[in-house]
Structure 1
Amino acid sequence: MSGLEGTRLVVADVIWTGTGDVHTPGVVEIEDGRIAGAGPLHGARPAGPDVVDLGAVVVMPGLVNAHAHTPMSLMRGIGEGHSLLTMEGFLAVLRRAEAHLTEELVPASTSVSCADFIRHGITTFADQYFFAGRIAPAVIASGLRAALAWGIVELGDDDARARELSAATRFAESMQGESEVVRGWLGPHAYFVDNQPEAMIAARDTAARLGVGLHVHYSTSGEEDAYCAEHHGTTSIRQLIAMGMLEVPTILAHCTTVDPAELPLLAGTRAAMAVVPSVAMQSGVPAAPVRAALDAGVNVALGTDNPCNNTNADLFEEMRTLGKLAAFTSRVPNQVTPREILAIATTGGHCALGGGPADGTLAPGGVADLIALPLAQLPRGPVGAQSLESALVYGASGASVTASMVAGRWLMRGGELLTVDAEAARAQQQRDFDTLTARMAAAEGGSHGRE
């Protein structure tokens, strides 16, 4: 399966550029995988072999999922009733299953997740998981843009620390020049909580040497601050800065318990907050301080996290939840505006992954990553009553996306996936799940699997 190549112009009834401009109708010009321009149509709609007219749709930049764990669709839903943002939930639910996970069980579930992403308007994502060497081929085949971080899980085990740090380094090195759109990062699981300072520094040095980034869970329960107060007499943000950990691109996933008073310290670093509002709500933890972060000049991105407790890969739903949760917790209507939320899910995500200043927009120089949603499936008030940004955040569904392009290559057209055989991947995923649960049952002397 392959995407349709050779598109030079994309025409649509509505073009939302992400720069403040809306063209009705409009056209996007693409050259060498990047946006050459976008503007209104004057006169007849162009036609030709290198023109794709999508008709009555809104075309917009693709969304960026800045915190994901694609292989974990193998265990979709097992975290229900648990907070996976605590060490207790992590050990009792995830590590219990992952103790029996082997690398051959990873590729099919990665493909299932990639298909979900494409169908829901995600064109770029940041992943963190082990066995990343088996994740990468499936992601490259999907055509999605990604930063794949090998998850470094230590749990106080010196042998595990050395083994996983070595594996992560080899993986990141192997990905240098391997793909134009997929890069290899390193993924310390959780600073101070799971990863020791010496391993953190080693990961930082490798990332700096290779020109890549770090992807880490951070500030999910306050455990980092408790550790740093006891061992360093300071807060975790100050300790990370003192150690130089934020001098390379760093995704700090969740940030639900971060002290808003310390957010200005992050603004001068290369760190980004990747918030996951649905998981915060499901796990019973505070909402990430998005308004305070934006006001402090911190880059904010948006993610879906793992499918074990957030079973939905719909970043439109995450945008809507972010806006509602921010208003609900602050008691300030529209505390984070629709335009700001869309920026978080597009330009904020690309910035978090080390992208260029125009990436996440349909402006010249930006990557040619775009999606289309039928206007008929976009609930919107009368023109003048509701902005297009508000309709996209509070009315759109990722399930409505009908077309997706990355680097000028179509991954989906007319609702048809062009780069992933989702049916075959799901069938293999079921076989992999049966294998995993059989292993768990044999080891634990109980019964697992289908109900």
Structure 2
Amino acid sequence: MATTLLRAEKVVTLDAQDTIYQPGYLVVEDDRIVELGPQSTPGNRRFDREVDLGPRLIMPGLVNAHTHSPMVLFRGHAEGHSLFTFEGWYNTIRVVEEVLDPDMLPPAVAVSCAEMIRTGTTCFADQYFWMDKIVPEVRKSGLRAALAYGVVEMGDEAARERELAAAAAFLESLAGDSRLIGWVGPHAFFVDNSEEAMALEVELADRFQTGLHIHLATDGSEDRYCQEKYGQTAIQQLKEMGILDHPILAAHCITVPEEDFPTLAEHPFTVVVASSSAMKNAAGAAPLKAMIEAGVNAALGTDNVTNNNSYDMFKEMQITGKLMSLRERTPNAVPTRHILEMATMGGARALGLEDEIGSLEAGKKADLISLDLTEIGWPPVGGQDVYTALVYAVSGMHVRDVMVDGRWLLRDGRWTTIDYAQARADLERVHAELEKRLAE
């Protein structure tokens, strides 16, 4: 077993006790943290490797709980359009996807993984199709991921059978994988996934003991449909169908009625707030403060970079904090510590990984990042507390090192698992081909 000693000026654990070591150390044995503490060196011992990070802050890696990694290929294609309505999504994105070649996806996924690593994400929840083109790139990157096979069937029986068969084959292919988890990804309940499909998707999730990654309540379509057909809200209908008994990762939740918050809190349900995407699409702000107060688990995501343009989760934390204060007309409406919780343990909890990642503790996976304390944004040290600095003053470009499973993915700002220059060149090439197809 290989042991590595990491030392740094500050170690922010984000554990239940909010432990901060200054200076601090961690001992990593293979893929796990086995020890951490408040001094520079843990006694008179030998390690296989000793790494002194100096004036850097070590913290848990960030969890991007909702994105679509291939869609970096569409960055810039939806400017001025809202993707938060069915018509906007279909006419802007779906029509582009119809001319895609699956072989265009690998360089897009590689670039997305590189951007996530560079800005401090160590685990992400993805939703898309053609997973056979996505999985190899994510594996090569070294990132941890919950990959959901995206299902769009629009009530068509042939499409339903085809997509669910592909989803089942994908889930089977990830059995036993130590870093990649398979999920089922109905794109949007009641919108482009019929009740027949929903029932089969739940059966699939049961069969593979996994969850459902969905979009929910971006413009109220689900509630309008369910009120007209069933005489109740979409959440109450999902409860009646038994779907809420399964782990659900629900992106956006902007228009969920407040009366449904207690129901969500009683079930394994996570709201994933993607504030940059919601703002850019003029969709409004999710009622995050009220959801948290009701006991709903909350996580943070960037959404795709067609909507957002950036994978930087530090930016996402900052924007979320400011947007929620604006929405509530209350400064610090969602405290900085809770925003950090959303970006770490909230996402881990949503994916069923709270015992493995989300905080720095002995026994957990060695998924961590370091930030440069000599960069702009930190001083004066005695002024802002460290949580405020992490949420409002720094960005992903402060990240210098990234480790997943005890393996460096970024070291001193350089990727170790991805040839970014090559991935970017390949992305430019396939994007030019996509533009050519769209012009025909």
Same fold per TM (> 0.5)? yes
In 2: Cα distance, 1:313 partner to 1:32 partner: 28
In 2: Cα distance, 1:137 partner to 1:173 partner: 15
Q: Does the 8 Å CA contact 2:314/2:395 hold for their aligned counterparts? A: yes
Q: Does the 8 Å CA contact 2:25/2:40 hold for their aligned counterparts? A: no
Shift of the alpha carbon at 1:52?
A: 1.5
1:101 to 2:100 alignment: yes
Q: Which of 374-383 and 287-296 deviates more?
A: 374-383
Report the residue type matching 1:51 in the other structure.
E
Q: Does the 8 Å CA contact 1:185/1:214 hold for their aligned counterparts? A: yes
In 2: Cα distance, 1:363 partner to 1:369 partner: 11
**2:324 aligns to what?**
326
Report the residue type matching 2:402 in the other structure.
S
Shift of the alpha carbon at 1:233?
A: 1.2
In 2: Cα distance, 1:387 partner to 1:242 partner: 45
**1:306 aligns to what?**
304
Shift of the alpha carbon at 1:157?
A: 2.7
**1:277 aligns to what?**
275
**1:268 aligns to what?**
266
Question: Deviation per CA, 1:330-369, whole angstroms, max 9, x where unpaired?
Answer: 1000001110000000000111111134620001232211
In 2: Cα distance, 1:293 partner to 1:9 partner: 40
Identity of aligned residues (%): 47
In 1: Cα distance, 2:203 partner to 2:92 partner: 32
Task: Report SS of the residue matched to 1:377.
Answer: coil
Task: Report SS of the residue matched to 1:171.
Answer: helix
1:388 to 2:394 alignment: no
Matches within 5 A, 1:406-445: 406-442=404-440
Q: Which stretches of structure 1, 4 residues or longer, exceed 4 Å deviation after superposition?
A: 42-48
Q: Which of 257-266 and 353-362 deviates more?
A: 353-362
Matches within 5 A, 1:34-113: 34-41=32-39, 49-113=48-112
**2:202 aligns to what?**
204
Report the residue type matching 1:198 in the other structure.
E
1:164 to 2:163 alignment: yes
Q: Does the 8 Å CA contact 2:8/2:40 hold for their aligned counterparts? A: no
Report the residue type matching 2:51 in the other structure.
V
Report the residue type matching 1:14 in the other structure.
K
Q: Does the 8 Å CA contact 1:214/1:249 hold for their aligned counterparts? A: yes
In 1: Cα distance, 2:195 partner to 2:237 partner: 10
Would you say how many aligned residue pairs link Structure 1 and Structure 2? Answer: 437
Q: CA 1:30/1:378 → structure 2, altered by over 3 Å: closer, same or farther?
A: farther
Q: CA 1:97/1:330 → structure 2, altered by over 3 Å: closer, same or farther?
A: same
Question: Deviation per CA, 1:354-392, whole angstroms, max 9, x where unpaired?
Answer: 113462000123221100010012523434431100001
In 2: Cα distance, 1:358 partner to 1:134 partner: 27
**1:117 aligns to what?**
116
**1:340 aligns to what?**
338
**2:154 aligns to what?**
155
Task: Report SS of the residue matched to 1:146.
Answer: strand
Question: Deviation per CA, 1:422-447, whole angstroms, max 9, x where unpaired?
Answer: 111111111111222222222xxxxx
Question: Deviation per CA, 1:243-264, whole angstroms, max 9, x where unpaired?
Answer: 1212222110111111223111
Q: CA 1:48/1:197 → structure 2, altered by over 3 Å: closer, same or farther?
A: same
**2:127 aligns to what?**
128
Q: Structure 2: which 5+ runs fail to align?
A: none
Q: Which of 7-16 and 407-416 deviates more?
A: 7-16
In 2: Cα distance, 1:81 partner to 1:142 partner: 32
In 2: Cα distance, 1:21 partner to 1:90 partner: 44
Task: Report SS of the residue matched to 2:359.
Answer: coil
In 1: Cα distance, 2:411 partner to 2:352 partner: 28
In 1: Cα distance, 2:29 partner to 2:258 partner: 42
Q: Does the 8 Å CA contact 1:359/1:365 hold for their aligned counterparts? A: no
In 1: Cα distance, 2:198 partner to 2:110 partner: 30
The match for 1:227 among 216, 219, 225 is 225
Question: Deviation per CA, 1:282-307, whole angstroms, max 9, x where unpaired?
Answer: 11112111111111111101001111
**2:12 aligns to what?**
16
Task: Report SS of the residue matched to 2:84.
Answer: coil
In 1: Cα distance, 2:27 partner to 2:78 partner: 44
Q: Does the 8 Å CA contact 1:37/1:362 hold for their aligned counterparts? A: no
In 1: Cα distance, 2:46 partner to 2:375 partner: 26
1:184 to 2:182 alignment: yes
Q: Does the 8 Å CA contact 1:78/1:309 hold for their aligned counterparts? A: no
Q: CA 1:247/1:365 → structure 2, altered by over 3 Å: closer, same or farther?
A: farther
Question: Deviation per CA, 1:58-91, whole angstroms, max 9, x where unpaired?
Answer: 0000000000100011111211101101111101
**2:252 aligns to what?**
254
Q: CA 1:169/1:235 → structure 2, altered by over 3 Å: closer, same or farther?
A: same
In 2: Cα distance, 1:258 partner to 1:221 partner: 9
Shift of the alpha carbon at 1:47?
A: 7.4
> What is the TM-score when the length of structure 1 is the normalising length?
0.94
Q: Does the 8 Å CA contact 2:114/2:420 hold for their aligned counterparts? A: yes
Shift of the alpha carbon at 1:53?
A: 1.3
**2:359 aligns to what?**
361
Q: Does the 8 Å CA contact 1:360/1:367 hold for their aligned counterparts? A: no
In 2: Cα distance, 1:241 partner to 1:366 partner: 34
**1:446 aligns to what?**
none
Shift of the alpha carbon at 1:48?
A: 5.0
Task: Report SS of the residue matched to 2:139.
Answer: helix
> What is the TM-score when the length of structure 2 is the normalising length?
0.96
Q: Does the 8 Å CA contact 1:7/1:52 hold for their aligned counterparts? A: no
Q: CA 1:118/1:47 → structure 2, altered by over 3 Å: closer, same or farther?
A: farther
Task: Report SS of the residue matched to 2:369.
Answer: strand
Task: Report SS of the residue matched to 1:212.
Answer: coil
